[in-house]
Amino acid sequence: MSGPDLGRLLAMTRKEAREFRRTPFILGAMVVLPLVFIVEPLIDIFRLGSSTPASAVQKVVGVTFLLMLIVPAVLPSTIAAYSVIGERDQGTLEPLLTTPVRRSELLLGKALAAMIPSVLVSYVIFGVVLLAAHLFAANQTVVATLSNGPEILAEVLFAPLLSGWSIAVGTGISARASDVRIAQQLGTLASLPPLAVTALVSFQVLTPSVPVAVGFGLGFLVIDIAMWRVVAAMFDRERLITGARALAARGGGGGGTPPGTVRRIQMVQGGDHE
């Protein structure tokens, strides 16, 4: 078996991106989440006076890092949960699966489309918070801790890895669930556990250092890959199609004539009937 075809994979990504741009709830989430997650930590940071004790500062820093990772963890799970059921509800999964597209191309194409905006949004949030802290924060310790190399590295690495987990879980749920909303709620819940791990780093139960950040990053990567294997195996053509039976709009297809007993004899002039 050859690997996934990049052209088909990116075609899926492009299609998804076009749909997202025209889906109000996804657009809304991309606008509202950054606002909330920029304003909330900044309020805490600006409240710190220049002489606040170090332990209190550390707490704010911890919460800030954690908040920064909520977006890449939660946003893509919502998008991914929508993506498979959305196709099924529109009846687009069936024509899609009759093309030569492979499972991996379809899933990775969709995953990429959910991951790119989520990670970008989270980097923008992080950048804005860092910049605002540098420019306006009264407490210099918080600025220094936020700009700590290992912590930034953890932030940059964890965002895509957390989103990879969330997308895998969201897609898996989406492939099995029968209702968009339930799928999204389950997806959101399932995206939270890895955050607990990052909380350990954020609150310095584990001292952030480059090895710790990279170590956790690798751990996430392994889990992500394993999770994707599981999801790909769940993504079964036949199941998706036949399981969709109850959902798929049946068009006007149900309106056949019931068999009756009427016999119609058609009169045709001899020889004319060819």
Partner 1 sequence: MVQPTPGLGGEGAALPARDGPALRVSGLTKRFGDRAAFEDVSFEVARGEVFGFLGPNGAGKTTTVRTLGTLIAPTSGSAEVAGLLLSPQNGEAIRRRISVMPENPGLYARLTVRENLELFASLYGLRSPGERIAMALDAVRLAERSDDRCGRLSKGLRQRVGLARALLNDPEVIFLDEPTSGLDPVAAREVHDLINGWRQRGVTVFLTTHRLEEAERLCDRVAILNTRLRSVGSPKDLRASLFGGSLVVETATPLPDPRAVFAGVAAVREWTDGGHGAYVLSVADPRQAAPQVARAVVAAGADLVSLAESQHSLEDVYLQLIDDDGSAPQ
Ligand X SMILES: Nc1ncnc2c1ncn2[C@@H]1O[C@H](COP(=O)(O)OP(=O)(O)OP(=O)(O)O)[C@@H](O)[C@H]1O
Residues near ligand X (CB under 6 A):
242, 245, 253-254, 256
Q: Residue 5: what are its φ and ψ, rounded to 5°?
A: -85, 125
Q: How many chain residues interact with partner 1 (CB under 8 A)?
A: 54
Footprint of partner 1 on 2-21 (CB under 8 A): 5, 7-8, 10-12, 14-15, 18-19
With contact defined as beta carbons under 8 Å apart, do 170 and 79 qualify? yes
Token code pair at residue 255: 């309106």
Tell me which of 23, 52, 58, 204 binds partner 1, using CB under 8 A.
23
Non-local (6+) Cβ contacts of 45 within 8 A are: 60, 64, 129, 132, 133, 137, 139, 142
Identity of the amino acid at 65? F
Tell me which of 3, 49, 211, 253 binds partner 1, using CB under 8 A.
253
Token code pair at residue 211: 């090895």
Q: Which is nearer to partner 1, 8 or 195 (CB)?
A: 8
How far, CA to CA in Å, does 41 sit from each of 63, 67, 75, 145, 181?
A: 8, 8, 18, 14, 29
Tell me which of 49, 53, 211, 259 binds partner 1, using CB under 8 A.
259
Using alpha carbons, select from 56, 31, 34, 33 the residue that is nearest to residue 45. 56
> Does 271 contact partner 1 by CB under 8 A?
yes
With contact defined as beta carbons under 8 Å apart, do 111 and 164 qualify? yes
Tell me which of 55, 205, 246, 273 binds partner 1, using CB under 8 A.
273
Q: Residue 27: what are its φ and ψ, rounded to 5°?
A: -60, -45
Choose the binding region for partner 1 from 112-120, 159-167, 212-220, 243-251 (rule: CB under 8 A): 243-251
- Give the C-alpha separation, 255 to 272, whole Å: 33
Give least dist CB 107 to partner 1, A: 14
> Does 268 contact partner 1 by CB under 8 A?
yes
Binding mask 76-95 for partner 1 (x = CB under 8 A): --------------xxxxxx
Name which of ligand X, partner 1, none residue 238 binds, using a CB cut-off of 5 to 8 Å depending on partner kind. Answer: partner 1
> Does 266 contact partner 1 by CB under 8 A?
yes
Cα of 170 vs its chain's centroid, Å: 7
Q: Give the footprint of partner 1 on this chain (CB under 8 A).
A: 5, 7-8, 10-12, 14-15, 18-19, 22-23, 90-102, 237-238, 241-242, 248-271, 273
